[in-house]
Amino acid sequence: MPAFAKQNLPRVAILAGALAAAIALAVLYYWLFSTEQINSDQANALLAGQDMLAGNWRLHDWWMAPDNYIGLEELVFAAVWGLTHNTILTIRLVAIFAWVCLGIVSFFLATSEHSRQGRFRGLVILGAIILIPASGNGISDFYFNAPLHVLTVTCIMLAILIIDHAIKAAHQLPVMMAILACIAVDAAASDSMFIYIGIFPIVTALLFMPQNKVPRRDKIILVLVASTGLAILLLHLNGWAGGFTPHSLSVVLSPLRRLPPNIEHMYLCLLYILGCESLGQNTIGTIVAIIRFPLLGLAALPIYLIVKHQIFGIRQSNSNLVSRSFIDISLCLVALADIGSTCVSNILEDIQGIRFFLPAWVAVSILASRYFLQNQKIVYYSGIIAICAVVSDLTFLARHPHPSAFPPAINALTSALEQHHLEYGYALYWQASVSAAASDGKLHVSAVVPNQTGGIAPYQWFSKTDWYKGQAAKQFFVIVSNEPKIIDEQMVFTQFGRPVSSFTVENMTIYIFQGALPALTWNSPAGAL
C-alpha cells in the first residue's frame, strides 16, 4: 500500500464514518418524523416558502410573526419545495435538514479541542443526550414541531464556534468576522431568539473572559452589536418598502404566583426530553426512566462547575475540571438565558412549551460532551443509552407502520369538504392552513379570529392579505370548532347571514353559505357583510 494511502486512511475512515453517521441519523429522523402529524405552523411556513419561490422574496402583503424565519427556514422551504413539489416530503425534509445541520455544528463545538478518537467519544455522548430522540409523548413537540427554531439555534452555536476560532487564529480574523456578520444579520433579522438567547449571552461571555485571553474582544463585540442593529434596520426597511408586516406577540413577565407552575412545567418538559416521562407509570417505563435519568446529571454538572468556578470565581487549587474556555462560558450563559427567560415569561403554559427549551438543551448537551468525553465509563454508558434509544425508536416505528401525515380529524374534514364540492372558506388557525395542505392545495381555507367589535377578522399571523380579499365562488364555508369555542355559531350568523346547510365532522361544524366568499378586514364590524 502506498505511504500516502497509509497516512490518510484514518482520516478517510473518520470522514466516511461521519458521513455514514449523518446519513443514518437523517434516515432515522425521516422515519420518526413521518410518524408525527403536520399542523398549521408547518403548513403556513410552507405556504410562505412557496410564495418566496414564486418571486415574492420579501413576502409582500404577508403578516408574519416576530420570528419570521425569512432568512432561515423559509429559504429552506422554498428550496426544498422547488425540488420536490410535494407538501408532505417538503415539510419532512426541512425538519431533517435543520436537525442534521444542528447535529454537525454541535459535533464540531463539542469536539473542537480533541483528537479524532475524542471526537468519536463526543459524538456518542451527543447521540445519547440529544441527537437520537427517545420515542415517547412530548418528543414530537421538541423535535418535529419545532423546526422553525432549529436553524436559529444552529446559527447561535455556529457563531460561538466562529468566534472561538477567531480568538485562536488572529490571521483569519477579518474573514471570520465577515462570516460572523453575515450569519448574525441573517439570523437576527429572521428570529429574535438569536438576539436574546444568542447575542446577549455571547457578548456577556466575551466580557467575562480576561482581556489577555481575548485581545480582539472589542472588535468581535462591535461586529455582533452592529450586525444586530443592521438586522433590525433591514426589518424596518423591508416593512416600509412594502415587505411583510410583523405581528406583535404579547410576551410579558409572569407574576410571581405563576413561577411555581412554570417550574413544574419545566420539570415535566425535562422528563419528556430525557425520555423519563413514564417514571412511576409502569414497571418497564420506570426501568427505562431510571436508566436514562443519569443523563440529567451529565447535563447539569458542567453548568454547575462553570457557574461556580468561572462566573463566580470560586476555584479550587486542585481543580482541573474547568478550563477557561469561551465556548464553555457561552454555552452556559445560553442555557441559563433560555431557561430563565422561559420560566419567568408567559409562554410556558403546557407541554407544548417544551420547544422553548431547545437552545438550553442543545447547549448543555454540547457541554456534557466536552466535559466527559475523556471519561471512559460515561462514554460506555452513553453508548448503551444511544443504542437503547435506537432500539426503542425502531420498536416504536414497528408499531406505527403506516402513520397518517395529518390528524385524522383533518383528513376527515378535507374529505367531507371535497365531497360537498367546497373550495373556499374560513376557519380557526389550527383547522385552516393544515386543511389546505392536507388537500394538496385543492382547498383554500384562511384563518380567522374574533375582533374587538364582535366580528370575524383575518388572523394576522403567517397569513397573506390576498387570502381575505374575497373569491368568486358559488358557495363558501365557515368551520366552527367546538373545542375550543373561540368563534360560535351566533358570531358566524351575524357576520355572514344564515347558512343554506351545515354538517358535522368530528368536533367541527361546517356551515355552507350561498354566494362568493366575502372579503374580511380587521376592523369589519359584526354584520357588516
How do strand 424-427 and strand 444-450 relate by DSSP bridges? Answer: parallel
- The answer to whether residue 211 scores a pLDDT higher than 80 is no
The residues near 459 (Cβ < 8 Å, ≥ 6 apart) are: 429, 432, 446, 447, 448, 449
pTM for this structure? Answer: 0.90
- The answer to whether residue 332 scores a pLDDT higher than 60 is yes
Q: HEC states along 62-74?
A: EEECCCCCCCCHH
Q: Is residue 302 within 8 Å of 285, Cβ to Cβ? A: no
What is the reported pLDDT for 419? 93
**C-alpha to C-alpha distance for 186 and 291, rounded to whole angstroms:** 41
Looking up cell 413537540, which residue turns up? 141
Residue 302, CA distances (Å) to 197, 482, 524 in order? 19, 48, 55
Integer-rounded Cα Rg, in Å, for the chain is 25
What number of other Cβ atoms are within 10 A of residue 500's Cβ? 11
pLDDT, tens only, 74-98: 999 999 999 999 999 999 999 999 9
Q: How confident is the model at residue 311 (pLDDT cuts 50, 70, 90)?
A: low
pLDDT, tens only, 1-35: 344 344 444 667 767 777 888 888 889 888 888 88
- The answer to whether residue 424 scores a pLDDT higher than 90 is yes
**C-alpha to C-alpha distance for 345 and 44, rounded to whole angstroms:** 26
Q: Is residue 510 within 8 Å of 478, Cβ to Cβ? A: yes
Residue 2, CA distances (Å) to 10, 15, 315 in order? 14, 20, 51
Q: How confident is the model at residue 193 (pLDDT cuts 50, 70, 90)?
A: very high
How do strand 62-64 and strand 444-450 relate by DSSP bridges? Answer: unpaired
pLDDT, tens only, 353-385: 778 889 999 999 999 999 998 899 999 999 999
Q: Provide the b/e sequence for 118-141 (b: ≥16 CB within 10 Å).
A: bbbbbbbbbbbbbbbbbbbebbbb
Average pLDDT score over the chain: 84
Residue 242: left (phi > 0), alpha (psi -120 to 50), or beta?
left
**C-alpha to C-alpha distance for 291 and 381, rounded to whole angstroms:** 9
Residues in the chain: 529
**C-alpha to C-alpha distance for 3 and 10, rounded to whole angstroms:** 13
